[in-house]
Structure 1
């Protein structure tokens, strides 16, 4: 077990909670912080582990509790901070853009400004998003210019650009990760894969935005967590690393695949609806840098990952069917 704990901000998020689980399995001590109480155990992957007692959870909001967060950093002499905390819904960011900017930009920059004065901080792992690139053709490398097309994406790009200046001027020890379309066991039910599975099992109708023609590359959360740890340990300061599989699939084809696996007719599950405002037609990340420079490879095939996710939904179905399957906004 490592003597120095890691700090995971946004630990209630799917990616954050799954990364906590990944590190706990390796006997790391984890300090976790999120603005809300811990969610139902079905949506909290680290709660499924025997090692869960090695995690110390604190309910702290980045917008209001920066002092408390910094007290944790200093008290435990934290060397690695992983920031998963963000307002992350794309379409809803048009409704209250100021909320997305406050969390993803203003409060996040305030955190960075405090952390840059911490002498025992070795690395700040900033979990960014491919949404900052906007809609792109072909594979997107890490040096692609930002072209955000939603308030969410603009708010994330602004914080990323601020971090670039912190690295250049203050030598702030940042590395960036950008993962494309993460999925897996424990994901929030408003995301396309768990929602499709849940609706199919419950006989509910799933709205398919724009007919599902947008193209994505889906990656299992276990592969994202392993990549994130590798980037933290061996990634070069100031560098951006894309985390992605090489396989692409349209949303419609993905839903059809899930329906086949569940043995439910596609037409019975889906109805076509209008597309979201500013939704990007495609963003396919080139992860060559991560594969070649850090010797990382994804291990979970799409079919295997979907099978695991289906098994999780079946296991917790009695609980999941009573939980919200749509995003509920919290300022």
Structure 2
């Protein structure tokens, strides 16, 4: 094994920025050997003290025996092909969400990782926020009692200029709208915290604030993992954009997770709080958030490979969220207001 962990990054678009910052922070552990892109951005890799090869051919990185894993930060429509090539070359993959354009391709991708016996980690960085981890512990240890109800809200904003970019909000490039592209992070966390057994009713809309192919507003009623009531709202039409919120009512208190801030009010009068700094990417600047959770996710992924264990966020885990999104869309009444 080399002294440092050899990696390649595929894609240098906006999604690569928190990965590049994390890779710089972890440069003593990680040797970023290649950045693979069709659209060179040499300025984005310039801060690296060690040389990073900027290449257009993925095979150049895959043929390097020192590359052990690949971060894939490209549009969803490319994921299955790129990951298949990485697995065939014996490389582990850390994949930006979503898995793929649709449920069938997502299942194929997860199955491929299983067939090759390689790690497939998925970038759901909200799972690594300190507030999320504290709330998960509160729920798992029973401090909030039995969950009676829970809700999830993603009141985000994206301007029309965002959707005017080639392929944004289309089935061909993104695979979907607010559910698959924006709310998927919070839905994945919500599932981990309280579970979702089924979708009772769903309303999918295209509001008059956007001209786009896919949905920008979804409301739904849910049945949680223990049979309790749940509800959901996700949108990119709520100007100027507000932090996503998860609320949980338990028999021993209630919890409110707002972005990366947490308040838990216990019936005993005790108050548990976790505060953070920085935005959540809910508004016009979609990159307005700390890269620290990305760094922790990347660290966990490397440790998982070294320790021969599953990473905290696996392909199978991500597939559950794709199944939920599919259920929300299949159950939906569709309207355009």
TM norm structure 1: 0.41
TM norm structure 2: 0.41
Query: Comparing both structures, which one devotes a greater share of its residues to helix?
Result: 1
